């Protein structure tokens, strides 16, 4: 066996372990009525601003929480907590993405999984019980980039890809893996559409050429446009 084969074997084993845990997380959360949403996008695409504007439209009827992932700092978690939302910050260090193991840690910090026990363990734990979850929808704000985050399963039920208007409408052509992973694409900073050369319809065609069942939601966290439609979509998915 040569060196390159050994590297491939190790990568396959690591991804296999992650995929196994991700599937277990998804199943455990589904059994308890907890819906996990993975929010991906470039730095500055408006992930935190979107959550700040979107969460009030979901609560009630839902009780949301957020897992923030960054290489360092807790700026985003502090911003959400200042608005009254429960958020935990995960520092990924040198990792450019969140994986299922890190997601499990965030869920434990939220009191939704037993600390240091298996995913399926039904024992009581700090903050609630396996039969009585505190939160019924959890958003992961993944590390800011359009590459690594799309390649690793976090255990989420739904993947949202954010594309801000200032980034340009060519990103589905340049980063097809991200848009193939996305169940829905949120075009953020839509209030810039009259100032940028950005074709929402062309983005829709490009995304649907990669993933025909993906939905497109132009929104603005600043003026609130499009947020009601996105909130309705999420509520419908939670109820499925």
- The domain locations on the chain are 3-239
pLDDT above 90 covers what percent of the chain?
69
3-239 adopts what CATH topology? Rossmann fold (3.40.50)
Most confident of 64-78, 86-100, 213-227: 213-227
* Contact call for residues 139 and 231 (beta carbons, < 8 A): no
Tens of pLDDT, residue by residue over 113-140, are: 877 545 554 443 333 444 567 999 999 9
DSSP codes joined into one string, 186-207: EEE-GGGTTTS---HHHHHHHH
| pLDDT given for residue 144 in this prediction | 85
What pairs with residue 161 in β-bridges? 40, 185
Rounded distance, CA 234 to CA 22, Å? 21
Tens of pLDDT, residue by residue over 34-79, are: 999 999 999 999 999 999 999 999 999 999 999 998 766 778 889 9
Q: Which of 210, 233, 208, 44 is nearest to 141 (CA)?
A: 44
pTM of this prediction? Answer: 0.86
* Contact call for residues 112 and 135 (beta carbons, < 8 A): yes
| pLDDT given for residue 158 in this prediction | 98
């Amino acid at each position: 066996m040569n060196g390159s084969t050994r590297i491939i074997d190790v990568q396959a084993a690591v991804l296999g372990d992650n995929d196994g845990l991700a599937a277990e997380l998804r199943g455990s959360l589904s059994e308890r009525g907890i819906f996990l949403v993975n929010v991906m996008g470039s730095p500055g695409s408006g992930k935190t601003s979107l959550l700040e504007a979107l969460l009030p439209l979901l609560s009630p009827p839902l009780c949301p929480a957020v897992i923030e992932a960054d290489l360092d700092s807790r700026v985003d978690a502090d911003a959400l907590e200042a608005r009254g939302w429960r958020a935990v910050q995960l520092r990924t260090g040198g990792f450019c993405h969140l994986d299922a193991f890190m997601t499990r840690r965030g869920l434990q910090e939220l009191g939704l999984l037993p600390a240091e026990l298996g995913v399926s363990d039904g024992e009581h734990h700090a903050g609630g019980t396996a039969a009585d979850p505190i939160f019924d929808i959890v958003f992961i704000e993944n590390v800011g980039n359009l590459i690594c985050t799309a390649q690793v399963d976090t255990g989420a039920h739904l993947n949202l890809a954010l594309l801000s208007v200032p980034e340009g409408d060519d990103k589905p052509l340049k980063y097809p893996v991200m848009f193939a992973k996305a169940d829905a694409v949120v075009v953020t900073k839509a209030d810039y559409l009259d100032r940028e050369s950005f074709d929402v319809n062309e983005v829709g065609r490009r995304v649907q050429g990669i993933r025909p069942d993906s939905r497109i939601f132009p929104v603005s966290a600043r003026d609130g446009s499009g947020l009601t439609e996105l909130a309705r979509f999420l509520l419908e998915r939670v109820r499925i």
